[in-house]
Structure 1
Amino acid sequence: MVKIVVVGAGVSGLTTALELSRRDSTYKITVVAKNLPGDISADYTSPFAGANWHSFADHDDKVMQVYDTYGYKRLMDLGENDPMSGIVLMDSYKYFTDYSVEKEDTEDPWFKKLTGLRPLSKKELPPGVSKGYKFKGLTITPTTYLHYLYLKCLSLGIVVKRVAAIEDISEALSLHSLGKADLVVNCTGLLAKHIKGYNDTKEQFGVRGQILHVRNNCSKQFSVSPHDKAQEDSHESLYIFPRKEGGCIIGGCFLRDYDHTKEDPELTQRLIKYAVKYAPELIDPSYKNNPDHIDIINVNVGQRPFRDGGVRVEIDSEHKWLIHNYGIGGSGYQSSYGLSARVCQLVRKSLKSNSKL
C-alpha cells in the first residue's frame, strides 16, 4: 500500500487523484483542499474557466503537444460516451480579423491532423474576418465536470477532505486518512505561491479573466483575434463557448497582476457589443427561443494560475516525497489528463528510487 495525498481539488487535483487510483489499486489516495466542487472563491480557479480544448502549444513545444494530445483524446472520448461529464462535442472556429492578420502569425496550429482542422472559405467568414479555420472540438461545463470528477473519485474509494489552507507543504504528510503519507502531490494552483516548504525559482502570478454566463444560445463555438490596436493593448478578445445544457459563456480578457475580482462593467458592455456583432443569433428569438437582449446569469471574474516558464510537473529536488503539478495557467482542463499521466510516471519513479535507499 502506498499512501498519497493530493493537495488541491480543482481540475488538476481531482484528475490527478483519479488517474493515480486507476493506474494502481495499491495507491490509497486522499485529496485535501480548502475549496471543493460547489465552492465559489477567488482563489479557486476551476469553476470560473471557459473550459474548451484549443491547445496553446506552439510548433516547437513538443512536451505540451504530448500533454494536450492525450487530453484531447480523453476528453473527446468522455464527450462521446459519458453524458454525465458535461462535455459536448462541437466544431471550434478561429477567426482572424483584418487587423490581426497583419499582426499575428496565422499559420495553421500544430494540431491540424489531430483534430481534422481545415481552413475556412471566404464565404464561411463573417464580415471583418480575413482568415479562419475550424476543427473538431469540445466544450465543458466546469461546475458539472468538477462534480463529475469528484463523484468518480469517491466511487473509487478516494477520500476527499476539506481542510484549512496549509501553510507549509510538509503539513500534507499528516493529512492522509490512513496515517502518515508516503507521497504528496502539489496541485494547489493559485495558492502554490503562498505555500512554504519548497523552492521555485520561477515567478507565479494570476492572470485575470472576465466572462459572462448568459442564457442566450449561440450556433457555434468560436474565438476572434483583436480588432484593432486599442483592443490588443487592452489584452481583450472575444470567445463564445456554448454549453451542453443551453446558454453560453462570452469572454474575455487576459490581464496579468490584476488581483481584484470585481466586474469591469465597461468590459461587459464591450463583450456584449462584439458578441452580437459576430453572433447575431444570440438575440434572435427565432433561434432556439433566444431573448432579444443578452440575458446575463452571472459575470464571473477569476485568476488563471500562471507560472513563468510554464507548468511545473516534476519531483521536488529537495523532497523526494513531493511531486509538483501547478502553474498550468489557462490550460487546466485541456491539459489535465496529460499532466496527470506525467504525475503517474513520476510517482512510479519516486517509489522506485525510494525503494533503493
Structure 2
Amino acid sequence: MDQKQLFVVGAGVVGLTTAIRALEAGYKVIVFAEIFPTDPKSLKYTSFWAGANHLSFAESGALMEVLEKDTLNEFLDLIKQDPLVPAMTRTHFGLYETLSGAQERLHHLSQFYPDFRSLDASECPAGVVGEVVAGHSWTTICIDVPRYLPYLLERFFKLGGQAFRTTIPSLSSLVSANERAPMEVFSLNSSNNPQTPTLNPVAVINCTGLGAFSLQDVLDTDVYPTSGQTIIIRAPWVQPSITYYFANSDISYIIPRQSGDIVLGGSWGVDDWHATSRPEIAKAIKERGVRIYPELLPPGKREKGDINDLDVIAECVGLRTSRKTGVRLETTVLEVDGKKIPVIHNYGHGGGGYQSSWGSAKHVMKLLRELD
C-alpha cells in the first residue's frame, strides 16, 4: 500500500516538528522551504532568533493552553529519554516589583505548572538585586535554539523525510502542473536524492509563519510581526531562568542555554519590521539585566556593575509571527487544476512557537485524521 504523501511548507520549529509527527504517523512527508536551519542566519528565518523557554502566555481554557501543555509534557519526556536533545529543565523565577494587574496571569500560571509555588523574599535566587515584593517559581524548559533546530532537521531526515528548497508565490504553485515553482533538493547527505514530488498530496500543511501575510492564496491580513531584541552573552555559571517585572512595566528576562550562553532580553515592537539592532534598546536590555542580576558579569567585575564588562557574543533581532485572532489551526480547501486539496494552517503562534510546537503538531495530526 502506497504511503500518503504530505507537503509541509516551512522549515522553522513549527514546520519541522509537524513534519516529524507526520512521519511518525506513517505519512511520506516532503518539506518545502526557502531557508533551512543549516543556512546562514536570516531575519526571514524567524525560529533562529527565539530565546527560548517555556512560559505560558495562553488564556485559561483557550486552544493555546492545550498546545502549550502538550508541548511541555513532550519536552519533559524528551529530556528524560534523549540525552542528546538540546534542551534542559531549569527552575524559573518570576519576580515582581508590583503585583498590580498581574493577578489573573498568576492565577493561570498557578493552574498551568504543577510545581508552581509562591516564594518569600528569602527564596529569591542568589544574586538577584531589586525591589521584589513577590516571587513565584516552577520548572521550565530552556531550549538551546542554535542546536535544537539542526537536531529537529536531522531527526526529520533520519525518519525518512525529504526536503526541497524553493521560494513560492502561493501554496498553489506546489501542486499546479501549470505554474509549479522551481525547486532543488535539500539534504544533509549527498546520497539522498529524491525525485521531484508528485502533484497530489493528501494535504498541504501551511507552516509559513509571517509568510502567510504575503502568500497569494492565503493573504492573511491578521498576521503581523512583533520584533524582539536580545543580547547573547557568555556566562556558563548562570543557572536560573528569570523573568523580572519592573514597576514601570519594563521586563527583563534571562534564559540559560545548554551551551553556557545566556539570552538576555527583551523587547516587544508591535508591527515592527525593523531588521537591525537598535543601540538604545540593546543598552537598556544590558542595563536592566545587570541591575537586577549582577551575576551576569564575570567574577571580579560585578561590584562595579559596568555593562561593558558583559561577555557579549551577539546582539540579535527577530520577528515573532503574531496574529490578531491568535494561532491559526484549521483546515481550508485549495482548488487547483480541477483538484480540491486540503490545506491545514499551522501558524500565528506569536512568541510561543517553541512552547506550543509539539502540541500544534499533535493538533495537525487530529485535523488530518478528520480528513479520512
Q: Deviations over 1:62-88 (max 9, x none)?
A: x22211111001111222332322101
Q: C-alpha separation between the residues in 2 aligned to 1:274 and 1:326?
A: 32
Note if contact 1:204-1:305 (Cα within 8 Å) is conserved in structure 2: yes
Note if contact 1:95-1:224 (Cα within 8 Å) is conserved in structure 2: yes
SS across alignment from 1:83: coil
Identity %: 31
Task: Report what 2:100 is aligned to.
Answer: 102
Q: Does 1:207 align with 2:226?
A: yes
Task: Report what 2:48 is aligned to.
Answer: 47
Q: Does 1:298 align with 2:319?
A: no
- Of the candidates 247, 252, 259, which is equivalent to residue 245 of structure 1? 259
* 1:333-344 correspondence to structure 2 within 5 Å: 333-344=354-365
Task: Report what 1:277 is aligned to.
Answer: 291
1:292 is displaced (CA, Å) by 8.6
Note if contact 2:90-2:239 (Cα within 8 Å) is conserved in structure 1: no
1:3 is displaced (CA, Å) by 0.9
- Of the candidates 157, 165, 168, which is equivalent to residue 166 of structure 1? 168
SS across alignment from 1:330: coil
1:198 is displaced (CA, Å) by 3.3
Note if contact 2:117-2:138 (Cα within 8 Å) is conserved in structure 1: yes
Q: C-alpha separation between the residues in 2 aligned to 1:271 and 1:113?
A: 28
Q: C-alpha separation between the residues in 1 aligned to 2:224 and 2:299?
A: 42
1:295 is displaced (CA, Å) by 1.1
* 1:210-225 correspondence to structure 2 within 5 Å: 210-217=229-236, 218-225=238-245
* 1:82-161 correspondence to structure 2 within 5 Å: 82-98=82-98, 101-105=99-103, 107-110=106-109, 112=111, 114-125=113-124, 126=128, 127-161=130-164
1:177 is displaced (CA, Å) by 4.0
SS across alignment from 1:253: coil
Paired letter, 2:226: V
Q: Does 1:322 align with 2:343?
A: yes
Q: C-alpha separation between the residues in 1 aligned to 2:91 and 2:330?
A: 34
Q: C-alpha separation between the residues in 1 aligned to 2:112 and 2:330?
A: 29
Note if contact 2:64-2:327 (Cα within 8 Å) is conserved in structure 1: no
| Structure 2 length-normalised TM | 0.85
1:104 is displaced (CA, Å) by 3.2
Q: Deviations over 1:294-348 (max 9, x none)?
A: 1111111011001111011110156552110011111000100111001011112
Name whichever structure is richer in helix by fraction: 1
* 1:63-74 correspondence to structure 2 within 5 Å: 63-74=63-74
Note if contact 2:235-2:298 (Cα within 8 Å) is conserved in structure 1: no
Paired letter, 2:49: F
1:110 is displaced (CA, Å) by 4.2
1:121 is displaced (CA, Å) by 1.0
Q: C-alpha separation between the residues in 1 aligned to 2:239 and 2:158?
A: 36
Paired letter, 1:328: H
| Structure 1 length-normalised TM | 0.88
Say if 1:286 and 1:22 are closer, same or farther in 2 by CA, change over 3 A: farther
Q: Deviations over 1:221-256 (max 9, x none)?
A: 01112331xxx3xxx521000111102010111111
1:43 is displaced (CA, Å) by 1.4
Q: C-alpha separation between the residues in 2 aligned to 1:16 and 1:113?
A: 24
Task: Report what 1:37 is aligned to.
Answer: 37
Note if contact 2:43-2:319 (Cα within 8 Å) is conserved in structure 1: yes
Q: C-alpha separation between the residues in 2 aligned to 1:67 and 1:4?
A: 22
Note if contact 2:334-2:342 (Cα within 8 Å) is conserved in structure 1: no
Q: C-alpha separation between the residues in 1 aligned to 2:227 and 2:197?
A: 38
SS across alignment from 2:43: coil
Q: C-alpha separation between the residues in 1 aligned to 2:368 and 2:70?
A: 19
Q: Does 1:193 align with 2:193?
A: no
Q: Does 1:3 align with 2:5?
A: yes
RMSD of the TM alignment (CA)?
Answer: 2.1
Note if contact 2:204-2:344 (Cα within 8 Å) is conserved in structure 1: yes
* 1:247-262 correspondence to structure 2 within 5 Å: 247-262=261-276
Paired letter, 2:102: E
Paired letter, 1:104: A
1:199 is displaced (CA, Å) by 5.6
Q: How many pairs does the alignment contain? A: 335
Q: C-alpha separation between the residues in 1 aligned to 2:256 and 2:368?
A: 37
